């Protein structure tokens, strides 16, 4: 049960790893992405991504600005102008 998660900024590929869940601050509300999520695209507002490595684990927080999220069969990709 892992979700492939990639965080990309114009300067580099920040993260590319398998995680349990990611909570994304979408423009129309936060949403969590688990493995097997339906294909989905959303703009992301400036805020904090929460990355859960395992079920019940403490989330890691990553600040993103100017973002866009895409969920496809291959996992979740977040494009952000600034991250970290």
Partner 1 sequence: MASLKELKLRIASVKSTQKITKAKQMVAAAKLRKAQAAAEAARPYAERLEGVVASLAGKVTGDSAPRLLAGTGKDNVHLLLVANGDKGLSGAFNANIVKAAVAKARALIAEGKTVKFYLVGRKGRAVIARTFPGKIVGQYDTTEVRTPGFTEAQAIAQDVSSRFFAGEFDVAHLFYSAFKSALAQEPTEQQIIPVAIPADAPASTGAAVEYEPDEEAILADLLPRNITIQVFKALLENQASEQGASMTAMDNATRNAGDLINRLTIEYNRSRQAAITTELVEIISGAEAL
17 binds partner 1 (CB under 8 A): no
Q: Which of 48, 46, 43, 51 is nearest to 69 (CA)?
A: 43
**Is position 36 an interface residue for partner 1 (rule: CB under 8 A)?**
no
Stretch that binds partner 1, among 33-41, 48-56, 57-65 (CB under 8 A): 33-41
- How far apart are alpha carbons 19 and 43 in whole angstroms? 21
The residue from 5, 22, 25, 42 that contacts partner 1 (CB under 8 A) is 42
> Where are any strands of DSSP class E within the chain?
3-8, 13-19, 21-26, 29-33, 40-44, 47-52, 60-72, 75-83
Work out which of 3, 9, 20, 21 binds partner 1, going by CB under 8 A. 9
The residue assigned the tokens 């977040």 is 78
Return residues touching partner 1 (CB under 8 A).
8-13, 26-28, 38-43, 66, 68, 70, 72-73, 77, 79, 81
């Amino acid at each position: 049960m892992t979700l492939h998660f990639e965080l990309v900024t114009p300067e580099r590929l920040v993260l590319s790893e398998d995680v349990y869940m990611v909570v994304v601050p979408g423009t129309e509300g936060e949403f969590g992405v688990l493995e097997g999520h339906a294909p989905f695209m959303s703009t992301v507002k400036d805020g904090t991504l929460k990355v859960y490595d395992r079920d019940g684990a403490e989330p890691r927080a990553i600040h993103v600005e100017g973002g866009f999220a895409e969920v496809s069969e291959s996992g979740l990709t977040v494009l952000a102008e600034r991250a970290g």
